[in-house]
Amino acid sequence: MLPLEKNTTLRDLEVKDAMRRQFTSLPGDLPIESGIRVLIKYKVGALMITDKDGLPIGVVSKTDVMGAYYAAMSLDTPLDQIMVSPPLFCSPVDSLESTLETMRSRRIYRLYVTKGSSSERAIGVVAYPDIVGLLYRYCRGCDQSLVNRRTKKMDGGDALRFRVKDAMTPSVTSFFEHDSLSEIIEGLSVNHFGAVLIRDGNSTPVGVISKTDLILAYRRGISLEAGAGTILSSSSVRACEEMEFIEDAIRKMIFSEVHRFFVYRNEQQNIIGVLSLRDAARLRSGSCLACLSSRIKVGSESIA
Amino acid sequence: MLTARDVMVSTFHTLSPKFSIEEAAKLFKTASELEQRRIFGLIVTDQSGRLIGMMSMYDILLFIRPKHVQVWGMMDDINIAGLMEEICSRAKSVLVEDIMTTDLITVTPDTSVMFILDIMITKHIRRIPVVEDGKVEGIVYISDLFFNLINELAP
């Protein structure tokens, strides 16, 4: 990881700058099956679970639903039996830096935002894609951004720019088509991954299985012993080259449906790592060193 | 007093829960052509013809809407190669049963139109299946209800 603990673009930003005010919640007495339908329909990673008065009592993420699948729980099980409780909150005026740190140390993907005590209604949510989106907007407005440089046909400055390889996780967990869904769930849980690469008998990458694919398999009643190949969708492996500019990769991730790209070296078959939105958020300093160096020029306290 | 039977349409098309979203999209198109009206909602029935869900225009639009769209803002460089192709590809693997609406409100053929009107307004729905003995007999559309009622206002 890059040595950028201080002086980052996020330094002066607060949760309220990045949070989304719309989030999805469901009452805890609804069955898991309803929860899955909402997760899929609204393309969200987690649901806020509420009590009879609409107050937050927990969170059910795709990971929790996947765990229920693994434990062979009935789809009729109420959501409040698999939720993680209590939900973790932050305040709209917390710094984004500290929020990212909480997300990292607690190994969670999102924090709900509440104005006062945690028993109050939530007013929003902040997750890795929101933070990356904010960084992207920030960078895009900068003279040094790739977009602006390309439009103005400016040269140089690329040395300052982060590449995919600077932020990626340099290892890949992969499974074979014949591996069972329960083995894949074990692999995802142990490594805290959102998806794994699937290879055929010749070790050629043939697809990706994500938590979303697994909770759909759960809803459709597919056996945990079924092979990975049975739920492999037609979509190909989304990959990017390790030397690609991170700015380009982030844009593609945000605007398409994926939370991660597999990273290849030289040829697409040679997958060497994964770049996730979480990795990108941890870069913290946008997509190049330009703003960092300009800050050093502006004031001495920035160098600290 | 008019009832559901008087205002419902009794020719309608049904989706199978196992249809992919791509197949559902096709049926929205062909049903609209056959009925000579734009169809914005279809009912979903199981093999025995029992009503198990509904799929509306909104469900499909939600499916198409990209994630993280709140980030797009006023950007003008949104030109992501393959975005629609990606959505089309997913439309082949996601099924009607994965995203259909299952908490349904139904009426019987004898339900008064005033009661139906009240449901449509308070629940913000535009079409209600008419069910008798577990079998779907027809659909009441808000537009048909409206034209029946203005006929009463201005005979």
Q: How far is A278 from chain B (nearest CA, A)?
A: 14
- For residue A97, is it within any domain? yes
Q: With contacts defined as CB-CB under 8 Å, which chain B residues touch A251?
A: 77, 80
Residues of B in contact with A219 (CB under 8 A): 97-98
- Contact state of A255 with B73 under an 8 Å Cβ cutoff: no
Cβ of A42 under 8 Å from any chain B Cβ?
yes
| Confidence category of residue B84, pLDDT binned at 50, 70, 90 | confident
For residue range A142-191, what is the model confidence (pLDDT) as tens digits? 766 666 666 665 655 666 778 898 889 888 889 999 999 999 999 998 88
Whether A198 is in a domain gets the answer no
Q: What pLDDT shows up at residue A97? A: 83
Nearest CB partner across the interface for A41, out of B62, B72, B86:
B62
Nearest CA among A290, A295, A298, A292 for reference residue A145: A290
What pLDDT does A47 receive? 95
Specify whether the CB–CB gap between A7 and A303 falls below 8 A.
yes
Whole-number pLDDT of residue A159: 66
DSSP string, A62-83: HHHHHHHHHTT--TTSBGGGT-
Please check whether residue B44 is in contact with residue B96, taking contact to mean a CB–CB distance below 8 angstroms: yes
Lookup result for tokens 């499974």: A175
Kindly list the structural domains of chain B, giving each domain's residue range(s) and its CATH number in brackets, ordered by start. 4-153 (3.10.580.10)
Give the pLDDT of residue A156: 56
How far off is chain A from B1, nearest CA to CA, in Å? 38
Chain A touched by B77 (CB under 8 Å)? yes
User: Residue B69: its pLDDT value, please?
Assistant: 64
Of A94-103, A155-164, B53-62, highest mean pLDDT: B53-62
What order do you get walking across the sheet with B14-15 strand by strand? B14-15, B41-45, B51-56
The Cα–Cα gap between B145 and B140 comes to 7
What does the block give as tokens for B72? Answer: 């797009």
CA distances from A23 to A48, A124, A137, B7 (A): 8, 7, 21, 38
Report if residue A46 sits inside a domain: yes
3-state helix, strand, coil in chain B (%, to 5): 45, 20, 35
pTM for the predicted model, two decimal places: 0.82
Handedness of CA A249, A277, B86, B58 (dihedral sign): negative
Q: How many Cβ pairs closer than 8 A exist between chain A and B? A: 72
Q: Given this model, what pLDDT does residue B121 score?
A: 95
Hey, how many other C-beta atoms are within 10 angstroms of the C-beta on A230? Answer: 12
Instruction: Give residue B86's pLDDT.
Output: 76
Q: Closest partner residue to A41 among B67, B75, B99, by Cβ? A: B99
**Pairing state of beta strands A195-199 and A174-176?**
parallel
Cβ-based contacts of B72 with chain A (< 8 Å): 255
Identify each DSSP E strand in chain A by its residue range: 25-27, 46-50, 56-61, 89-90, 110-113, 124-127, 174-176, 195-199, 205-210, 239-241, 260-264, 271-276
- CATH code, domain with A24: 3.10.580.10
Of A137, A219, A256, the CB nearest to B98: A219
Residue numbers in B near A220 (CB within 8 A): 95, 97-98
Q: Which residue of chain A comes nearest to B94, CA vs CA? A: A216
* A40 touches B at CB < 8 Å: yes
Share of chain B above pLDDT 70, in %: 90
Domain containing residue A123: 15-127
Q: Which of residues 137-196 of A touch B (CB under 8 A)?
A: 137, 140, 147
Contact B90 A235 (CB under 8 A): yes
pLDDT tens-digit map of B92-150: 888 999 999 988 999 999 999 999 999 999 999 999 999 998 889 999 999 999 999 99
Domain assignment present for residue A83? The answer is yes
B110 CA to chain A: closest CA distance, Å?
31
State residue B93's pLDDT score. 83
Of A25, A49, A55, A69, which Cα lies nearest the Cα of A224? A69
Percent of chain A with pLDDT over 70: 80
Asked if this assembly's ipTM is beyond 0.85, the reply is no
Interface of A with B in 216-245 (CB under 8 A): 216, 219-220, 233-235
| Look-up of token digits 């109050």 | A120
Neighbours of A131 (CB within 10 A): 26
Looking at chain B, which residue has its C-alpha nearest residue A234? B89
pLDDT at A79 over 80: yes
Contact A123, A113 (CB under 8 A): yes
Q: Do B92 and A234 touch (CB under 8 A)?
A: yes
A81 located within any domain: yes
Q: How many folded domains does chain A comprise? A: 1
For the beta carbon of residue A227, count every other beta carbon within 10 angstroms.
Answer: 18
Place of tokens 């929860």: A35
**pLDDT value, residue A236:** 67
Task: Give the position of tokens 């003008």.
Answer: B76
Cβ neighbours of residue B126 closer than 8 Å, sequence gap 6 or more: B40, B41, B120, B141, B142, B143
Cα nearest neighbour of B89 on chain A: A235
Q: Which helix (H) or strand (E) holds B14?
A: strand B14-15
Instruction: Say if A89 falls within a structural domain.
Output: yes
- Measured CA distances, B44 to A35, A51, A223, B78 (Å): 20, 31, 25, 36
More confident residue, A218 or A9: A218
Flag if A42 and B68 touch (Cβ within 8 Å): no
Q: Is B145 exposed, middle or buried (0-12, 13-18, 19+ CB in 10 A)?
A: buried
Q: What is the pLDDT at residue A295?
A: 40
Six-digit token string for A261: 């790209």
- Residue A146: its pLDDT value, please? 67
What value does the mean pLDDT take over residues B31-48? 92
Interatomic CA distance for residues B31 and B24, integer angstroms: 10
The answer to whether A121 and A48 are in contact (CB under 8 A) is no
